[in-house]
Amino acid sequence: MTILLLNGPNLALLGTREPGIYGRETLDGIVAAVTARAAAAGMVVRAFQSDIEGELVREIGAARATCAGIIINPAAYTHTSVALRDAISAAGLPCVEVHFTNTHRREPFRHESVTVPVCVGQIMGFGGYGYLLALDALIHHLQQNKERA
Ligand code: CA2
């Protein structure tokens, strides 16, 4: 079973800039931690980062045939992207949205997520650890759904 782990614009900068906001962990380190935890649960992670909205949309579309679920940090596209929201909705896969920061404690323009209404749920404010929480939540959701199917 494969999980798609998607990260949006500027998240490749993690660990190199603004450590006061986003911490010192790198994206590679977070992907490695999620991959190891998923492997312990018998799952595979496909990780993809892009600064380009259309590339993220394309990956979500491709996941429909190959993945069991999605973990996504859409970054700034969280607050703007109807295209990502439509792609998540069309994929029909359970999706967990994750954010490093608690966006509700930040500028008003970060308070709304366009994408979260088509996700199972959202985890924010726990830095890189939130990605592990998102993985656990997604696995739990998949197991619950399997039991009900
Ligand atoms: O808190 C989050 O995870 C965000 O998705 C991060 C986005 C921001 O636009 C959202 O409102 C909340 C920004 C990602 C930028 O990542 C950087 C990482 C290191 C240095 C600079 C930017």
pLDDT in tens, 66-105: 999 999 999 999 999 999 999 999 999 999 999 999 999 9
Q: 100: Cβ below 6 Å to ligand 1?
A: yes
Local confidence band at 146 (pLDDT 50, 70, 90 cut-offs): confident
Residue with the smallest CA separation from ligand 1 atom 13 is: 75
Q: 13: Cβ below 6 Å to ligand 1?
A: yes
Task: Confirm if 8 and 74 have CB atoms less than 8 A apart.
Answer: yes
Q: 17: Cβ below 6 Å to ligand 1?
A: yes
User: How far is the centre of ligand 1, averaged over its atoms, from the C-alpha of 76 (Å)?
Assistant: 7
Give the Cα-Cα-Cα angle 53, 96, 115 (nearest 5 degrees): 45
